[in-house]
Amino acid sequence: MALVNYGTKEINFKLVYYGTGLGGKTTNLKIIHSQLAPQSRGELVSLATETERTLFFDFMPLDLGSINGFKARISMYTVPGQEEYNKSRKLILRDVDGIVFVADSNVTRSEENQASLRNMMDNLREYRLTLEDIPWVLQYNKRDLTTAMDVERMEAELNHTKVPAFEAVAMEGKGVFSTLKSITKLMLNRARSGD
């Protein structure tokens, strides 16, 4: 559940971008950061290796403005895609309010996408959570590839609970904001309903 500070009249949501390595999680945050006004976003902090892969996480705060007299903010994180950093992935999921699962559309990444989704569900179970407990959406990234899977196949492999899913080419900014808008709306609705 979102962190509410009645003293400062602030609501802080935690949004995590999850998925395989090099699938586009960091690219989503970079696009969001580059296209928003500086007053509505904080600094993008990225801890990457020399090969540009996320080592621990990326982080960016995003101001949503005022909701019912409370200043609303989203703290956005990505997890490292590499399996050897599973402890970091698990830690980043603690107290999550929403998830964007970024799937790589390349047909060669099909099994990795499915393994990453199973890993995410396993890590959520560590906090006694399931995907039914948390707002989440899917983003099918890299739709511009000639080797991109059919969306129907990706839906069958990944979207068993029929959550909102968005086609994207994150490098070009396509689908990035529609994905963000959808998950933000789901998180806000959940907070308003008190679930």
Highest mean pLDDT among 21-30, 51-60, 83-92, 142-151: 142-151
Listing DSSP states for the chain in one string gives --EEETTTTEEEEEEEEEESTTSSHHHHHHHHHHHS-GGGB---EEEE-TTS-EEEEEEEEEEEEEETTEEEEEEEEE---SGGGHHHHHHHTTT--EEEEEEE-BGGGHHHHHHHHHHHHHHHHTTT--TTSS-EEEEEE-TT-TTBPPHHHHHHHH-TT---EEE-BGGGTBTHHHHHHHHHHHHHHHHHHT-
Residue 13 has pLDDT above 70, yes or no: yes
Q: pLDDT by residue (tens digit) across 114-169?
A: 999 999 999 999 999 999 999 999 999 999 999 999 999 999 999 999 999 999 99
Which CATH superfamily, name and number, covers 3-193? P-loop containing nucleotide triphosphate hydrolases (3.40.50.300)
The pTM (predicted TM-score) of the whole model is 0.89
Residue 48 predicted with pLDDT over 60: no
Q: Is the pLDDT of residue 64 over 80?
A: no
- 69-116 pLDDT, tens digit each: 878 888 888 888 767 778 888 999 999 999 999 999 999 999 999 999
